[in-house]
Chains A and B, each alone.
Chain A
Amino acid sequence: MITIKFYSLLRLLVKIEQVELELADVPISTVLEEAAKKVKTPFLHKLVQDGKLITGTIILINGRNIHHLDKLNSRVQDGDEIALFPPGGGG
């Protein structure tokens, strides 16, 4: 089981906090596509454009940013928790 948590504008957009998927040992790109099928409101365009992460998009696998793993090819295992944030900032 993989848990995908939606934060900030995504949460306001999809109006749910998380979904769970029965997946294991797949790239994060597959997790995102499967999550998109399970959620009514389209949300992927807030994170990825033309197959690339939008500048400022934060996708964490167990708190690790996929930028420093293998980007959209980063592997996701059973039991992992994914956090999705569209670009955000403040201070």
Chain B
Amino acid sequence: MSYTVTDARLLRINLTKKTIKVEKIEQELFRKFLGGRGLGSKYLIDEIDPKIDALSEANKLIFANGLLTGTFAPTGGRYMVVTKSPLTGTIASSNSGGFFGAEFRNTGFMMIIIEGKSAEPVYISINDEDVKIVDAKALWGLSTHETTDKLVEAFGVEGAKVACIGPAGENLSKIAAIMNDKHRAAGRSGVGAVMGSKNLKAIIVKGSRRVDIEQLEKFKEIVKVQNGMLKAHPVTGEGLPALGTKVLDNIINSNGLYPTRNFQSAIFSGVAEVCGEALVNKKYLQNNTACYGCVIACGREVALPNGLKGEGPEYESGWSLGADCGANDLIAITEANFLCNELGLDTISAGATIALAMELYEKGFIPKEDLEDMVEPRFGNSEAVVYYVKGMAYRETKLAAKMADGAYRLGKAYGHPELAMVVKKQELPAYDPRGVQGHGLQYATSNRGGCHVRGYMISPEILGVPEKLDPQALEGKPAWVKIFQDLTAVIDSAGLCLFSSFALGGDEYRDLINAVLNTELTTEETLKIGDRIWNLERQFNLAAGILPDQDTLPDRLLHEPLPDGPQKGCYSQLQKILPEYYQLRGWDEKGYIKTSTLKDLGLV
């Protein structure tokens, strides 16, 4: 049985009332928002008051497939979790790969909107049209791996896929992730805590309906060409399969922007021990793995000498749990990464929060009694990295309980929020913006707070793809940031992987979208969809009280020059380029969206 791409419906499940409804999605919405991040955001904004408490019953949790998720489009296996973030107070859109998204699309449902709160732990079971809310008391407290295994076994149909939370989400850690296929994370912005607040442990999906492409022959030809481009490109065809994202450790460190010891330095002396090359040469890497529909296969299947097995670390996770904490023990870093996956914590936020605890403790801002006799958080102590991952997930000690709510709240609790390396209360990823000006602007303006995947300016500014820009130059950067942000919103809403954009460009995404929507969008019109989604998210944030004064970076990155490395003496010059960015976005000089811009984008 098959159905056309835009014929998909949505499931509305109210956990308070235990009701399940099926609704049609208006065709016009696909043309305006595609799916995934865009479509999910549209529904969230229409249905909740942005000012609500993110962990209250009034918040909604939306699982949204991209327009192309589950088709055979290159890397077409990604889904998005859209909700209000308990970490940032902004809109949250957390993206994940693996196989859950494609299987979920096979049920014929484009989205699930979860409302209310169950009185007892439950999970949602979807087998095509057969949708149930099921008791999950026996699963509460289990790791994401145990939960997945038990659910798949109980479901009894081969090929079922699971997305679930671990103890971190149950304990409402504001940096909790939703994990699917055991190792893949909708990681950022605390979406796992929203799921936990609803007493929803998991969703299991199995579908037998296939997405039918109207212009099938044309689509096949486009996909063939684009898969060829991905295979032929040195980044997606060679670098990522061989070394995964950890190919970046040495690149970023050698360029002098590898944040070390909570961004106190940008050069890590231990990089040789923890880099992607070391993961291969030490023979920890067993295989590379691929998500649904992907010819890149950048995933890391790893086995450690101590017998532990799992996937990762990726570049960001290896950095946050490694260099940011001053730790150079690759085994401990990988173990901490596995624990984050099993307990359901976002690796970037977890590592960055531990790094802040280390700086606070070493500076004497955390009293020893708050440790409750557990390991001292000191830079370079890998035992502390592993312990505090677990400590945060279970809120085990006075200190770990505070850490469970992320770096900003930890810093604030001990009187030093300025030491938290966050934007809009979300922890920054693995690139020091003092060494890369456009990326700093992108951090400051990201609609979900500190994030590298809303407009990956590292690609042109450091990697030289599609062309090399001087990382310290300011001229032209606001325009680059805007285009990258708009294009990323398109890729996210199409359900494709951002890594495809190393080899594919706006024209390629336009062709895929046109073939399934039966439209003749130009590249400019395709990017305008991204611009619309960007402004839609901004509208939510402004209404939620996240105002333009939060389009900034931590003081350390604005005022303390880089202390070492090839970019010694540099600092972020955000204030010099932010006004031009506002202007290009069609916002007023204070950063509010002009009515004329909203009208042009069809948002009023």
| A interface with B by C-beta (< 8 Å) | 7-9, 11-12, 46, 54-58, 60, 62-65, 67-68, 83, 85-91
Q: A60-B255, A63-B254, A64-B566 are in contact. Are A90 and B244 (CB under 8 A)?
A: yes
Residues of A within 8 A of B243 (CB): 8-9, 12, 88
B456 contacts partner chain A, Cβ-Cβ < 8 Å: yes
Residues of B within 8 A of A63 (CB): 254-256, 565-567
CB <8 Å contact, B458 and A87: no
Question: Nearest chain A CB to B214's CB is how many angstroms away?
Answer: 33
Q: CA separation between A39 and B244, bound complex, in Å?
A: 26
CB nearest neighbor in A for B567: A63
Choose among B239, B316, B453, B565 the residue that contacts A88 (Cβ–Cβ < 8 A): B239
Choose among B235, B280, B470 the residue that contacts A68 (Cβ–Cβ < 8 A): B470
CB <8 Å contact, B280 and A12: yes
CB <8 Å contact, B245 and A91: yes
Question: Nearest chain A CB to B469's CB is how many angstroms away?
Answer: 9
A/B interface sample: 22 pairs, CB < 8 A: A8-B247, A9-B243, A46-B234, A56-B464, A58-B463, A60-B566, A63-B255, A64-B566, A65-B255, A65-B468, A67-B470, A83-B250, A83-B254, A87-B239, A88-B234, A88-B248, A88-B251, A88-B463, A89-B236, A89-B247, A91-B248, A91-B458
Q: A58-B464, A90-B244, A91-B316 are in contact. Are A85 and B250 (CB under 8 A)?
A: yes
Q: A9-B242, A9-B243, A56-B463 are in contact. Are A91 and B498 (CB under 8 A)?
A: yes
Residues of B within 8 A of A89 (CB): 235-236, 239-240, 247-248, 459, 463, 465, 499, 502
Task: Give the number of chain B interface residues (Cβ < 8 Å).
Answer: 45
CB <8 Å contact, A8 and B250: yes
Q: A56-B464, A91-B248 are in contact. Are A7 and B234 (CB under 8 A)?
A: no
Q: CA separation between A67 and B465, bound complex, in Å?
A: 13
Question: Nearest chain B CB to A68's CB is how many angstroms away?
Answer: 5
CB <8 Å contact, B251 and A85: yes
CB <8 Å contact, B254 and A87: no
Q: CA separation between A90 and B458, bound complex, in Å?
A: 10
CB <8 Å contact, A55 and B466: yes
CB <8 Å contact, B254 and A60: yes
CB nearest neighbor in B for A57: B464
CB <8 Å contact, B234 and A54: yes
Q: CA separation between A88 and B373, bound complex, in Å?
A: 44
Q: CA separation between A12 and B453, bound complex, in Å?
A: 28
CB <8 Å contact, A7 and B566: no
Q: CA separation between A91 and B461, bound complex, in Å?
A: 13
Residues of B within 8 A of A11 (CB): 277
B46 contacts partner chain A, Cβ-Cβ < 8 Å: no
CB nearest neighbor in A for B275: A7
B315 contacts partner chain A, Cβ-Cβ < 8 Å: yes
Choose among A46, A62, A67, A90 the residue that contacts B247 (Cβ–Cβ < 8 A): A90
Q: A8-B251, A55-B467, A64-B566 are in contact. Are A86 and B239 (CB under 8 A)?
A: yes
Residues of A within 8 A of B280 (CB): 12
Choose among B239, B316, B470 the residue that contacts A8 (Cβ–Cβ < 8 A): B239
Question: Which secondary structure dominates where chain B touches chain A?
Answer: helix
Residues of B within 8 A of A62 (CB): 566
CB nearest neighbor in B for A90: B245
CB <8 Å contact, B499 and A91: yes
Q: CA separation between A63 and B251, bound complex, in Å?
A: 10
9 extra interchain contacts, Cβ-Cβ under 8 A, other than A7-B254, A56-B463, A91-B453?
A: A8-B242, A8-B243, A12-B277, A58-B462, A64-B566, A68-B470, A86-B239, A87-B463, A89-B499
Find the residue from A58, A62, A86 having the highest chain B CB count within 10 A: A58
Find the residue from B462, B463, B465 having the highest chain A CB count within 10 A: B463
Q: Which of B359-391 contact A (CB under 8 A)?
A: none
Q: CA separation between A71 and B470, bound complex, in Å?
A: 13
Q: CA separation between A60 and B257, bound complex, in Å?
A: 14
Q: CA separation between A90 and B500, bound complex, in Å?
A: 10
CB nearest neighbor in B for A62: B566
CB <8 Å contact, B234 and A56: yes
B508 contacts partner chain A, Cβ-Cβ < 8 Å: no
CB <8 Å contact, B255 and A86: no
Q: A63-B256, A86-B239, A88-B239 are in contact. Are A7 and B246 (CB under 8 A)?
A: no
Find the residue from B235, B244, B459, B467 having the highest chain A CB count within 10 A: B235
Find the residue from A55, A62, A86, A88 having the highest chain B CB count within 10 A: A88
Q: CA separation between A52 and B247, bound complex, in Å?
A: 23
Q: CA separation between A24 and B233, bound complex, in Å?
A: 35
Find the residue from A54, A63, A64, A89 having the highest chain B CB count within 10 A: A89
CB nearest neighbor in A for B315: A90
CB <8 Å contact, A90 and B499: yes
Question: Nearest chain B CB to A45's CB is how many angstroms away?
Answer: 11
Q: A54-B234, A67-B464 are in contact. Are A91 and B456 (CB under 8 A)?
A: yes
CB nearest neighbor in A for B468: A67
CB nearest neighbor in B for A83: B254
CB <8 Å contact, A91 and B464: no
Residues of A within 8 A of B240 (CB): 89-90
Q: CA separation between A86 and B233, bound complex, in Å?
A: 12
CB <8 Å contact, B315 and A87: no
Residues of A within 8 A of B251 (CB): 7-8, 58, 85, 88
Q: Which of B229-276 contact A (CB under 8 A)?
A: 233-236, 238-240, 242-248, 250-251, 254-256, 276
CB <8 Å contact, A9 and B459: no
Residues of B within 8 A of A91 (CB): 245, 248, 315-316, 452-453, 456, 458, 498-499
